[in-house]
């Protein structure tokens, strides 16, 4: 099944992202975000690593640094792109999303893309946001090198805060940051 819904956990909204979201008239309160105030790292043996504190971000970078849930951000962006409600439109007509269409060829001379199945679409501007393994990049620029694994792995998971709150020694995890 193909759908346009997001899954996953948190996503960082650094000051530049916040600036762009505001320009798009995205209501940050809708995102239910919290201020990113730093990270605490632990080594495998349980000892604490160097804390990274993010002081005075708005003063230094002009906007705050927030964290929100991916699903909320995705839903807000979809609303901005597709909404026909008065007061929520961006510039021009609402966007139309065609799901399950694979682009198999790009032609920068004719300004066309070819979809799986042979349909050719033309546009004045084509933006290929097709990810780290971009087919467009290879088709238009040739094999200019592939992403190489960094050999660093990161794991993450979500924990229900009602469980964390049963452990007073973990109060610091849930206390603190405020939203926009």
Ligand X SMILES: Cc1cc2nc3c(=O)[nH]c(=O)nc-3n(C[C@H](O)[C@H](O)[C@H](O)COP(=O)(O)OP(=O)(O)OC[C@H]3O[C@@H](n4cnc5c(N)ncnc54)[C@H](O)[C@@H]3O)c2cc1C
* 13: helix, strand or coil: strand
Q: Kindly state the smallest distance separating residue 123's Cβ from ligand X, in Å.
A: 14
The smaller minimum CB distance to ligand X, of residues 81 and 89, is found at: 81
Q: Which is nearer to ligand X, 47 or 148 (CB)?
A: 148
CB of 4 to ligand X, least distance (A): 9
3-state helix, strand, coil in the chain (%, to 5): 25, 15, 55
CB of 116 to ligand X, least distance (A): 8
Nearer to ligand X, 84 or 119 (CB): 119
Q: DSSP label at 85?
A: S
Residue 73, φ and ψ in degrees, nearest 5: -65, -45
- DSSP assigned state of 12: E
Kindly tell me which of 38 and 165 has the beta carbon lying closer to ligand X.
38
Helix (H) / strand (E) element for 78: namely: helix 70-82
State in angstroms the smallest separation of the CB of 41 from ligand X: 16
Binding interface with ligand X (CB under 6 A) = 11-12, 102-103, 129-131, 135
Structure tokens at 81: 């792109």
- Kindly tell me the sign of the dihedral angle through the C-alpha atoms of 10, 16, 18, 21: negative
């Amino acid at each position: 099944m193909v759908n346009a819904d997001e899954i996953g956990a948190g996503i960082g909204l650094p000051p530049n992202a916040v600036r762009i979201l505001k320009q798009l008239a995205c209501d940050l309160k809708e995102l239910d975000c919290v201020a990113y105030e730093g990270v605490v790292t632990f080594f495998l043996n349980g000892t604490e690593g160097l804390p990274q504190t993010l002081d005075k971000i708005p003063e230094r970078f002009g906007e705050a640094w927030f964290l929100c849930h991916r699903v909320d951000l995705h839903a807000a962006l979809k609303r901005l792109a597709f909404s026909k409600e008065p007061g929520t439109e961006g510039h021009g007509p609402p966007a139309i999303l065609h799901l399950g269409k694979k682009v198999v060829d790009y032609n920068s001379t004719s300004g066309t893309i070819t979809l799986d199945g042979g349909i050719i679409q033309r546009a004045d501007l084509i933006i290929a946001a097709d990810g780290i393994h971009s087919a467009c990049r290879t088709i238009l620029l040739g094999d200019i090198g592939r992403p190489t694994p960094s050999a660093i792995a990161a794991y993450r998971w979500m924990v229900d805060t009602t469980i964390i709150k049963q452990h007073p020694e973990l109060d610091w995890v849930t206390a603190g940051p405020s939203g926009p």
